[in-house]
Every structure is written in C-alpha cells, then in structure tokens.
Structure 1
Amino acid sequence: MRFAVFASGNGSNFEAIVRAVENKEISATLVCLFSDKKNAYVIERAKKKKIPYMVIEKEKQETKESYEKKIIEYLEEKSIDFIILAGYMKILGHVLLEKYPKKIINLHPSLLPSFPGKQGIHDAFYSKEKETGITIHLVDQGIDTGPIIFQHAISITRHETLSSLETRIHELEHRYYPIVIEKYIREVVLNDKKKSLN
C-alpha cells in the first residue's frame, strides 16, 4: 500500500506520520508529500527525511477541477492508493474525491460536529465548553463533515490557556493519528484493494 500526505503548514503531524512509518507502526509506504504552499515549513521536514515532495499552487484563474487533475496526474505517477491530510487547508473537490472514494482521511482538532473549520482549537477554547478533543474522519465535499472514524476527548481545565490547550491537542494528534491510519489501512483500504483484484 502506498500513500501520500497532503499538508499546507508547519507539518508536525506529517513528521509524526513519518516517524510511525520508520518505526513500522504504519504498514504502508509513505511515498510523497504534496503541498499547495511553496513556503510551507512541512517541505523542510520532507527534505530532512529525504521524502519526495511536490508543490502545485493554484493559479488565480484556474478552476478547482483543472487544479485537482494536475494533482491526480502526480499521484498516478506515484501509484498512490490513499491520501492522508495533515493540516491541508484546501477544501477538496469532486475530482479528487471521486478518484479516491473513502480513501482520503483528515484530522481535525475538535470534537466534530462542534467547531469545524480552520480555528477548531481557538473556537473550542473561547466557547467555554468543558471538553474538546480530536476527530479523525473521511473527507467529503463539506467542511469537516465526512463520516467520523475516531474521536478522543479531553477536559478543558479551569486554568487552561489557549497555548496549553494547543499543546495538549497536538500531543493527542501525534499519538492517535498514526494508530488510526494503520487501523484504517488494515480494515478498509486493504479489503478494497483485494476486492478490486478479484
């Protein structure tokens, strides 16, 4: 099994995934990184780990369909079986979703359906909710609306700061995302691949 990670930013979850692959905690091959941002720090992490990467930035007049077709061309060259989103900030369109049905996973820093979107940790902290957490889900055309695979909750303590909550959420992400990726590979992706070969 071969997969790509999509990321737009710092890349700490990308690095946690790389570490899990190196430690054989994820049984698939991490083939490449894809980023939509040429200055994303995640690219430096990929370089240090000698992982191939591709950057394709969407041109202003370009349609989402034509942009995603370029991405698929790259993924097909690499024989990618499934995609892991790790801080990828673009909403995926139907072209990618139809090419990889039920084979794109995302990590979100809140207990969905609460606090979707870019500021999940911030929004949960200022909501005065007593708990938050992480959600790992399949991707559909909505914003953090796909079928939920896994959730883990933590309490927001009385003396919590936004910074301390961010740290705790990131620790959860790094701990659980590789575990859930491996479980999903074994239970879903491999079964689908076997069916397609029969």
Structure 2
Amino acid sequence: MEKLKLVYVCSLRNAAADMAGRMVEYKGGTRYMESPLEHLVKQLNKSELGDKYELQAVIFDDDLTHTLDREKLKGYGTSRIGCYGEWIYPQTLKVGNRDVDELLCCIPSSYRKLSRGSQAWREGKLNFEQRLEKKLDELGADVVLLDGLIVILDQLASEDSAYAKRIVNIHPGITREGSLYQRRGATATLDALYGAQGKQVTNWKTMDMIDTDVVDKTGASLHYIDQGIDSGPVIHDVLNTPITPTDTIFELRWNNFQQSLFPAMTQGLYELAQIDRFETEKM
C-alpha cells in the first residue's frame, strides 16, 4: 500500500531552547538531547513506521531578521552552516537515502515582528498560513506533524480547512480534558516541575504562585489541532514520566522525551495511519 506523505513543521528556536543535538547536564553527568525530529527519522528508518510514512519535508518558521529569533537561535542559526557547535541533529542523519538537510524548508512567520493584534499583524499571520498551505499542497501532504511550532494556526486549524483532521501536534504534556495531569500550552514542562513541588504559577511575569496538591508525574500527547491551545482531540497519550522536586528543566525534558513523548509520537502515528486508511477505504 502507498505510504502516507508526512510533513514535519517546527520552530527551530524551540529545538535550540532544548539544546537539541547537544549534550546537556544530567544528574552530575551529561546526556545527549535527541530531538523529536531525530527520533522520528530513526523510527522511519528502522521500524514499521517507515512502511506507513514517507517524510517529504521539514518546514521551520524562524526568521533571523527578527531580533528575538536571532537571539534564541544564537549558536544554532537556521542551518548547520556557521553553527557554533553541533546542530539540532547530526550531519549524518538520513531518512532512507536522503540527507535530512535536503528536506529543510523555511517559511518564516515574519508577522511576529509586528505589533500583536494590529491589522498588519493579522494580515501577516494570514499570509503566513497561506504560504504554509501552498507548500503543503505542493508536497501533497497527507499528514502534517507539528512539533514545537511556536505559533497558533487559525485558518489551517478550522473545520473548513482542507487540512482538517490532517494536522497533528506532539505536545510534552497530557492534553486530555479532565485529566489530573493535564499540562497544556508553552509552559507545560515548567508547570509539571512546579506541580511536583506542590506549586502552581499564576503569573509568569511576577512568578506569583499558589500551593496545590503534589502531582509528580507527567507525559505527552499526540492530538489533532483545533483553534485552541492544545485542545484538539487526543489520538494517543502516554503518562510515564515521574518527576522529583529536584529535577532541572533539562533533566525533566530529557526524561519526558524518552519515557513519554517519543512513545506517544510513534504510537500515535501508527494509530493515525490506521485511521487514515480506514477513512480512505470508506470514500
């Protein structure tokens, strides 16, 4: 059966914040921080996942004319050329016979430089989504996997979009509604860290906190996107990451990738492929 065409969409600045592709401090030693992209490629190469999907492109939205992006990508940049050290994945990384570097494509979300909520910002955001959709159309994308894309999609996430139920997000937290362990949004890992200390941050600017019950476990979810924040229907989640109050952000991030996020991503993609086949056969 023909493979599904998979397109991976991310923000490199998020991978850089994770120190992807480099060694991080871990419990008095160091460990290699493998990115979800690198793990996905390895699974496509060596597991049955590669029988179901073919990676078409790796799209990122970073814009080095944006001061904040330039600062967050300091030492990484948007390619390994001129990078100060290792990049977000090894230079030797291939998917099948193709270098992953060959799949890279930048569609900058330049509107983020503009005043948020202004007319120019709204028009720029719409233009970004239109350019992204055009590229997905060119690639013939069957499934679009978002990982750490630090923008909210509106047009592409609508029920009327041609990509409705075709765009999924891998999130480092449980997103299921009503779960004791729910951690949505950009602060999911920090929320989990503070939760293990019996704390909840109510204002990230002032760092005001309240006492809460201790929640010493977290996980990850693969879910469809909608127009909310990590609120789309869950395809597969894994709750398998214990937290100790002394964990650092990198220690918890490493643990959660290995114990919950990687399994949620790969198993969720397996299940998504079955759903896609079923829907195709019904048509």
Q: Same fold (TM over 0.5)?
A: yes
The residue aligned with 2:188 is 120
Residue identity matched to 1:103: R
Q: CA RMSD in A?
A: 2.4
**2:135 equivalent among 62, 74, 77:** 74
- Work out the number of aligned pairs and report it: 195
Residues in 2 aligned to 1:162 and 1:95: alpha-carbon distance in whole angstroms: 32
* Inter-partner Cα distance in structure 2 for 1:162 and 1:59: 29
Question: 1:184 maps to what in 2?
Answer: 272
The structure with the greater share of residues assigned to helix is: 1
Q: Which moved more, 1:2-11 or 1:39-48?
A: 39-48
Partner residue in 2 for 1:163: 250
TM-score after normalising by structure 1: 0.86
Distance 2:249 2:104 in 1: 32
Tell me whether 1:17 sits opposite 2:33 in the alignment: no
Match of 1:53 in 2: 104
CA positional deviation for 1:25: 2.8
1:94: how far off? 2.0
SS in 1 for 2:59: strand
TM-score (norm 2): 0.62
1:108 is matched with 171
1:105 CA displacement: 1.2
**Superposed CA offset, 1:95-140 (max 9, x none):** 3541211111111112225221112111111123222111221110
Give the whole-Å Cα distance in 1 for the aligned partners of 2:105 and 2:164.
22
* Matches of 2:147 and 2:48, distance apart in 1: 17
What do the CA deviations read for 1:139-194 (whole angstroms, capped 9, x no partner)? 101000001122222332355443322221011222331122122112x1122333
Matched, 1:135 2:203: no
How has the CA–CA distance of structure 1 residues 116 and 184 changed in structure 2, closer, same or farther, with 3 Å as cutoff? Answer: same
Distance 1:167 1:102 in 2: 29
Q: If you compute each CA radius of gyration, which structure gives the higher value, 1 or 2?
A: 2
- Percentage of pairs with the same residue: 24
